[in-house]
Amino acid sequence: MAGAPGCGKGTQSKMIVEKYNLKHLSSGELLRKEISDKTELGQYIDKLISNGQLIPDELMIDMLAQQIDLLDKNSIEGIILDGFPRTVTQAQALEEMMDKRGIDVDVLIDVSVDEDELINRLLKRAELLGRSDDNIDTIKQRFDVYHSKTKPVSDFYKNADKYVSIDGMGTVDEIFVRIGKVLDQLQSQKNK
Ligand code: AMP
């Protein structure tokens, strides 16, 4: 699941895992856990996140691979990756990582939301959660990083014919229905 900061990918991922018996792996949550555990690595990550920068690819890929290896794959129908891959290098590494483990990468669901609405949502979230990166300066930096580094990931999946764009404007439930249709279709194709 991909999209600009504030597109709702975290909220939607959490709703989807319940309905489809998937495991939710959020790269952002993984990183925030490292920060709250107050490890040395966490301090380094904290600085990058607070400045709206991405964590280096190699580190992010290793952290994610470790999490995938911890999963009991027999008890779940699949994995939903939330916020990963965020660079083309990560997308390429993900293909390799999953190939080695005999797992298919089915689709990139790209949740698309107008920039004004994204800013509104992020500033609202700042009041609720107080995330260190939900302030106007960092939000602008995150958008820049999104456009330069993450947007090209869409082309990677378009070229592989594994890309679906979802209209992320509207209520949480409306967006959930749209994503559900994509997943239902995918499931019925797999069961053929
Ligand atoms: P998120 O919770 O997905 O909004 O991510 C919050 C922040 O964590 C991002 O702005 C990045 O600084 C960092 N981050 C999350 N996922 C990744 C990733 N796949 N690669 C690099 N940095 C990431």
Over residues 54-80, the pLDDT tens digits come to: 999 999 999 999 999 999 888 888 999
Would you state the pLDDT for residue 192? 80
- For the Cβ of 175 lying below 6 angstroms from any atom of ligand 1, the answer is no
Which of 110, 106, 109 is CA-nearest to residue 94? 106
95 C-alpha to center of ligand 1: Å? 19
Is the CB of residue 55 less than 8 Å from the CB of residue 48?
yes
Each residue of 137-148: pLDDT tens digit?
999 999 999 999
Would you state the pLDDT for residue 178? 98
49 Cα nearest atom in ligand 1: 12
Residue nearest to atom 15 of ligand 1 (CA): 28
How far apart are alpha carbons 153 and 109 in whole angstroms?
11
27 Cα nearest atom in ligand 1: 16
Q: What is the number of alpha carbons within 13 Å of residue 17 lying toward its C-beta?
A: 17
How far apart are alpha carbons 91 and 154 in whole angstroms?
10
- For the Cβ of 27 lying below 6 angstroms from any atom of ligand 1, the answer is yes
- For the Cβ of 60 lying below 6 angstroms from any atom of ligand 1, the answer is yes
9 Cα nearest atom in ligand 1: 3
- For the Cβ of 31 lying below 6 angstroms from any atom of ligand 1, the answer is yes
Would you state the pLDDT for residue 162? 97
Residue nearest to atom 11 of ligand 1 (CA): 54
82 C-alpha to center of ligand 1: Å? 9
DSSP string, the chain: -EESTTSSHHHHHHHHHHHHTEEEEEHHHHHHHHHHTT-HHHHHHHHHHHTTPPPPHHHHHHHHHHHHHHS-GGG-SEEEEES---SHHHHHHHHHHHHHTT-----EEEEE--HHHHHHHHHHHHHHH--TT-SHHHHHHHHHHIIIIIHHHHHHHHHTT-EEEEE--S-HHHHHHHHHHHHHHHHHHHH-
Instruction: Note down pLDDT in tens along the chain; length 192 residues.
Output: 999 999 999 999 999 999 999 999 999 999 999 999 999 999 999 999 999 999 999 999 999 999 999 998 888 889 999 999 999 999 999 999 999 999 999 999 999 999 999 999 999 999 999 889 999 999 999 999 999 999 999 999 999 999 999 999 999 999 999 999 999 999 898 888
